[in-house]
């Protein structure tokens, strides 16, 4: 899967974690970061060191514990908890989507270094696999837009721009 698609998938899942709150963009960015991080292992043990379920869960647990201890303001802790949830979901979505490629992933590494999941014969550069990922992410993004009411503003904005440019609705 292409890195930009992993980032878009993570961003979208982060928006969904926000559920229409004033912090949705923050959650989207945390999800995007989660979608990006696994490919930082490209040069060292690629598809093992960061392409597993163990490392993100440990990291997010440590981050949440540190945040809870360091910050006494409860609403900030709650915002960060959702942010960490978006991060780990973006990360896990990246790992899960790479499991649908021929190279697969080692989801239990380093606990089990032999267990590999490769669900399809598709390459990570496959047009089909990448298209499906973009389509599903776009549908989830549209759902977020619609559920938050933002889609109405987008339509209004596009109609206003069309009118300014001299295009009239058909």
Contact 21, 83 (CB under 8 A): no
Mean pLDDT per block of 10 residues along the chain (170 residues) reads 96 96 97 97 82 95 90 87 97 97 94 94 94 96 92 85 79
Going by C-alpha positions, the residue among 23, 25, 29, 11 that lies closest to residue 93 is 11
- Two tokens, residue 43: 């040069």
34 — phi, psi (to 5°)? Answer: -60, -35
Contact 10, 93 (CB under 8 A): yes
Q: Which runs of E-coded beta strand occur in 20-165?
A: none
Q: Is 104 exposed, middle or buried (0-12, 13-18, 19+ CB in 10 A)?
A: middle
pLDDT at 156: 85
**Taking the CB of residue 16, how many other CB atoms lie within 10 A of it?**
20
pLDDT at 144: 95
16 — phi, psi (to 5°)? Answer: -65, -35
pLDDT at 170: 56
pLDDT at 111: 93
């Amino acid at each position: 899967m292409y890195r930009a698609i992993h980032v878009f998938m993570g961003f979208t899942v982060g928006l969904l974690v926000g559920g229409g709150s004033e912090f949705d963009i923050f959650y989207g960015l945390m999800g995007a970061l989660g979608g990006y991080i696994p490919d930082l292992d490209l040069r060292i043990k690629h598809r093992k060191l960061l392409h597993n379920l163990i490392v993100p869960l440990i990291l997010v647990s440590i981050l949440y514990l540190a945040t809870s201890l360091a910050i006494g303001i409860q609403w900030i802790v709650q915002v960060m908890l959702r942010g960490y949830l978006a991060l780990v979901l973006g990360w896990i979505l990246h790992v899960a989507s790479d499991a649908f490629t021929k190279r697969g992933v080692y989801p239990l590494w380093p606990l089990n270094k032999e267990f590999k999941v490769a669900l399809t014969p598709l390459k990570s550069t496959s047009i089909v696999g990448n298209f499906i990922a973009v389509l599903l992410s776009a549908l989830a993004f549209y759902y977020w837009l619609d559920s938050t009411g933002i889609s109405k503003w987008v339509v209004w904005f596009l109609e206003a721009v069309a009118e300014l440019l001299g295009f009239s609705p058909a």
